[in-house]
Structures are given as C-alpha cells and as structure tokens.
Amino acid sequence: MTMMVDMPFASIELWVDYFKEVELPVLRHTAQQIDALRADADKVNARKLAGIVLHDPLMTLRVFDFIKARRGKKQSTDITTVERGLMMIGIHPFFEHFQNMPIIEHQLKAYPKAMLGMLKVFARARNAANWSRDWAMLRRDLDLEDIAVAALLHDYAEILMWCFAPTLAIKVKDRQTADHHLRSTVVQTEEYGIPLFELKLALAHAWALPDLLIKLMDPEHAESPRVKNVKLAVDLARHTANGWNDAALPDDYRMIQELLHIDHENLLRRIGAPKEHILAARTEETPAEPGAPENP
C-alpha cells in the first residue's frame, strides 16, 4: 500500500526521492483497455496501443520509463514519442510488462474530492495535447507528437500530488478557489514546500525523460515557438476549464493568434468554442459598411 503524504517534505530532493520509489497508478479504464487487447496482441499495432497510452498521462510516464530501461546502450538518440517507443520495445514485451498495475480509483477511494480534482487535470491535459498538436500542424512543425506529449505531461506534477498527497492538493485547490488572485507558485510553495514547476523539472531529470520533452516543458525556453505552443495550449486548457468566460481568456486568445497568425473567429472554431462566442467574434471583426455611423 502506497504511503500517502499529508505533510510537505522539507526539500525538493526528498520529494524527488519519494516519487522515485512509488509505482505510478493508471486509470481503471486504461488498464481495462490494455487487458482487453492482450488476448489479441498479434493483431495490435503500435499506433492503436499508443492511442490508449496517450489518454492517460501517468501511463505515458510509465511507458517512457520502460522505453528508457529497454534502450540499447548503442542507441544515442532519445525516443520522444510513445508510438516510436512501442515500435522499438515491441508489442509483446509491452503486454508482458504492463500487467496488474495499481489503479488510481482504488488509491483515491477514500479521497473522492481528490479523485475529481485529478480527473479535471487529466481532462485539461488531453485538451492541451490536442490543441498543441493542431497548432503545430498549422505551424508546419515536424515534431507534432513530441509537442503533443509535452503538453499532455506539462502538469504531471500536479497529477502526482492529487494521487499521492491528496490532502495537500485539496488545500491548494480550496485556497485558489477562494482567492482567484492567489498566484499558483505562492500557494504551492506554502502547502507543498515547493512550486510544482520545479518538482516537474527535477523529476523529469531524475527519471531521465527525453531531453526534447524536458525542453518543451521548461519555462527557461519560453521564447521558443514550440515551447510557446505547449505553454499556450496548457494555459488555454486551464482557463477554459473555469468556463468560456474566464477573465484570462482574452489574453490567451491574443497570444495564440499572434503565434498562429490567424484571426479570432478562426481560432475559436479550431478550439471548439461555443457557437455564441464564435458569432460574437464574427460580429466584432466585421468591418463597418462605408458611410455607417461609428459607435460613440
């Protein structure tokens, strides 16, 4: 039984040591889908299996760890996408290794509020991954899947806290809900003892995640168009989770439009905004007819 953390560790090194020892759980649905395919492993291809893995950020982390362990010593280049990794390690070794995995729903059975909070982060991560892939395609970036994976994993430290430090994660969420102006790094440092972006990067290095993925998640490289792609998708997913009228969205839209060189209505269509927002954008962007009076 995994020991839950109900008091912050004294240093980031102790947090890293703790997470290096735990076994990451996966969603029940993830485990069920993998088990359903196991009997027909000969008919399963890497793309289909990758689609299941990439629906679950913690399963994605587990696969990258397995890829690292199976890499040949002569292999000098990182495997940065799940599908390529599955092709390298093979379908049968995958099914042999990933059996009887711990289940998130079991681990958080006594913490329903934490389970809900974690599922919301999962949903945000999937939206961010989908949007970042679409924008990378629009930008004609060749590393579509790397960018999507980086967006999917961007907030994995928050997911870990929901899973392994649920009482602390609930405190953080409650404080942010009570005060929308409270900066995330401040409340995280006060409740966890560290800001989560520092834990994310420390764990990424400790787990030897691919260098490209670490760079795409690192705010130090914020001026890179690829890093902007990931960060803006993550921000948009976080803000739309609060509703399509969230006060931060206009700034998100402006920065995304600058990155993609598209107009407001086109962006709203691409991200699946509600129809009324798209219609409002069309009205705002329609130029006034010649001779029409201007608004006072």
pLDDT per residue as tens digits for the range 216-245: 999 889 889 999 999 999 999 999 999 999
Residue ending a domain, among 71, 103, 135, is: 103
Token pair for residue 11?
A: 């240093």
Half-sphere exposure of 56 (CA within 13 A, CB side): 22
pLDDT at 72: 59
Please check whether residue 296 lies inside any domain of the structure: no
pLDDT per residue as tens digits for the range 79-124: 888 999 999 889 999 999 999 999 999 999 999 999 999 999 999 9
Model confidence at 77, pLDDT cuts 50, 70, 90, reads low
State whether 184 and 151 are in the same domain.
yes
State whether 149 and 280 are in the same domain.
yes
State whether 48 and 156 are in the same domain.
no
State whether 241 and 118 are in the same domain.
yes
Instruction: CATH number of the domain at 151, please.
Output: 1.10.3210.10
Please check whether residue 2 lies inside any domain of the structure: no
Residue 137 is part of which domain span? 105-284
The C-alpha atoms of residue 288 and residue 296 are separated, in whole angstroms, by: 14
State whether 201 and 94 are in the same domain.
no
pLDDT per residue as tens digits for the range 116-136: 999 999 999 999 999 999 999
pLDDT at 292: 41
State whether 232 and 112 are in the same domain.
yes
pLDDT at 78: 77
State whether 241 and 172 are in the same domain.
yes
Please check whether residue 70 lies inside any domain of the structure: yes
State whether 238 and 124 are in the same domain.
yes
State whether 171 and 268 are in the same domain.
yes
Whether 293 has a pLDDT exceeding 60, the answer reads: no
State whether 242 and 255 are in the same domain.
yes
